[in-house]
Amino acid sequence: MGRAGFIKILALTRVEWRLRQQSTFLGFFWTLLNPALMFVVLYGLFIKWLGRAQSDYAVFLLVGIVEWNFFSTATSHGLSALLRRGPLLKNYPLAPEIPVFASVLSIYFSHVLELLALIAMLSFFQGRVTVSWFWLIAIDGIYLALACGVSLLLAGLFVFYSDIERMWGILLTAGFFMTPVFYPLSVLTPDKSRLLNLSPLTAVIESSRLALSGAAPGGAAMGGALLWATTLLISGLLFLRLKRASIGDAL
């Protein structure tokens, strides 16, 4: 993909962002309502059960919710990108991956603002900024690639199989409980903990927590997440390129 492709992605990302915000009174602040509500409910339910210090668990939970919400929202939005942009794809020489990338990037922009709000809150209450926080740049880069890869595959499949949207919604619901968003891995048995550690989502969320706590993320965990992200991204691009003619006919 050349410079023209990147320009198209950025232009379409801007359109996606404006369409998501312009019909609401509070715009971006509505995107903060969902994680804020989830935080209040989960914090109230599990703070005593987990027996963690209140401030520690608050940060632990916020990081988990912010990171999970990005993947959930980005893949759900990216899934329908080709159908939403069907007329554009049919009338202009546009690569099918461009609308998918733009959809994910529009969600990623909101995610970055959420992370900045979280970092600002941490720096205010802790009174310090640590070098380890900069690990979030690398972690989120891998996470963005992972979300793009999954979205490319889902978007391509959704053109041919409309049930994919409902199936993905069910898988995300299950995935929320199978990812350490609101609980630490230490509460699980060793076998279950090892199983969840195979997930790239676990690696991203746990690495983000380590970075914000002042420690460097584990190299093995992030290496595994990078492998997942690279594999899925390449697979998604190849799938859309191979099915480009069929996708055009289906749209």
Find how far residue 162's CA is from the centre of its chain.
22
Residue 208 structural domain? 3-250
Rounded to 5 degrees, φ, ψ at 94 are -120, 130
**DSSP one-letter string for 11-46:** HHHHHHHHHHHHTSSSTTHHHHHHHHHHHHHHHHHH
Number of domains, the chain: 1
Question: In the prediction, which pLDDT does 146 show?
Answer: 97
pLDDT tens digits along 162-186: 999 999 999 999 999 999 998 888 8
Question: In the prediction, which pLDDT does 103 show?
Answer: 94
**Quick check: 54 pLDDT over 60?**
no
pLDDT tens digits along 90-139: 877 788 999 999 999 999 998 998 888 888 878 876 667 788 888 999 99
Could you tell me which residue, 80 or 41, shows the higher pLDDT?
Answer: 80
CA dist list (Å): 185 to 42, 47, 204: 16, 15, 14
pLDDT tens digits along 29-47: 666 667 767 777 777 767 6
Could you tell me which residue, 20 or 224, shows the higher pLDDT?
Answer: 224
